[in-house]
Structure 1
Amino acid sequence: MQVVYENEPFWAAPHHEWHLNSSLYHPYQKKTFPVGTIDMEEKDNSYTIMGEGFNVSFDKYTSSLSSYIVNGKELMKSPMLPNYWRAMTDNDIGTHFDRTSNEWRKASLNRSLIDLRVAFDVSCVLVETHYQLPTTTTSITTIRYTIHASNKVEIENLLQPGKGSSDIPEIGMRFELSDSFDKMEWYGKGPHETYWD
């Protein structure tokens, strides 16, 4: 992509190029997943979604994704939990962000389950949880897990911060992978900047 001025400024030559980017952009394509069948089993303390070669389990009392087994191998060491805190940078500490946003540090650990809903279809299962977070004014988080028959799991974490809540350090999910995942490959920073400041 090349960007030039339509009406040249007094300080630039005609057709002055002020931005050049060689990234390749693809048109949006709706996600499609292989069609298969999926089944669900409800027990006293869990829901287990089963497909060809995989099982995904949810704890009924905490509503967390607690187990993800593919081809007989457990992928998770700890349950998946919402997370709203991150490590502080020097800039954060200098501006006291670590104190002004402290309410988010343990908000997800002290969450209260409001509601758990499960919708079942032969090709996917939707598990939707609603939590109340103990922030200055109550915040609500909704987490949607869509488990497809292909063993793909899509996760949405939606947060409604309470009115007047402090700045939110991060919105994400946190869990530990099984100890068998002991190698990592880094693909680099990519074509775009990683920090805006």
Structure 2
Amino acid sequence: MTMKKLERFALIAMAALGAAACASVPTYVSLDPSLPRAQLTFHKGYEGTGLFSSAVQNYALGADEYCDSAKHAALFKNVSGTESALRVTPDVRTVVWAFTTYLNSTIGAGGVLGRYDDCRNAVIFTPARNRNYDIRQASTNGDAQCSLVITDAATGAAVRNVEVRASPDCIPRTKAARGSNR
């Protein structure tokens, strides 16, 4: 396989990953600037991509841990920007999910081989009115460890009221729970 074909393969695979990750999740709509707000700035937090590797990083927000409350907040790819800001309702408990997926391609005796690595985190916090926050899931390609950190943009200090969820996955809401909560 030529270098050009390999590059095209990697780009197509990453586009498919990005589309699949966002296909079933509605997009969060930033609050009107005239309303009370807190601002969340999501940052591209991954490293270690290059000619034979690529990455996609997604952030989502929700009012609770259930999948049906999740809304897409930001998407970063190799060729995208490095940050994206949203205005959110202040003083409301908010779940932040972060997902980073790496695609690594190598050329071996059997042709092009692909391997996926991923990193997922979820935290809960309550953004305060008129405060700005930086949110970054830091990870390096090939490293199984990553972290999701929320800092106060004015001070650079880690936010204290962050609760790390034991599972990075949202919870499917059962029909019984759906009926009682709506």
Please indicate, yes or no, whether the TM-score normalized by the shorter chain is above 0.5: no
TM range (shorter): under 0.3
Larger relative contact order (C-alpha < 8 A, sep ≥ 6)?
2
When normalised by structure 2's length, the TM-score is 0.27
Structure possessing the higher radius of gyration over alpha carbons: 1
TM-score with structure 1 setting the length: 0.25
Structure having the larger proportion of residues in strand: 2
Q: Which has the higher helix share?
A: 2
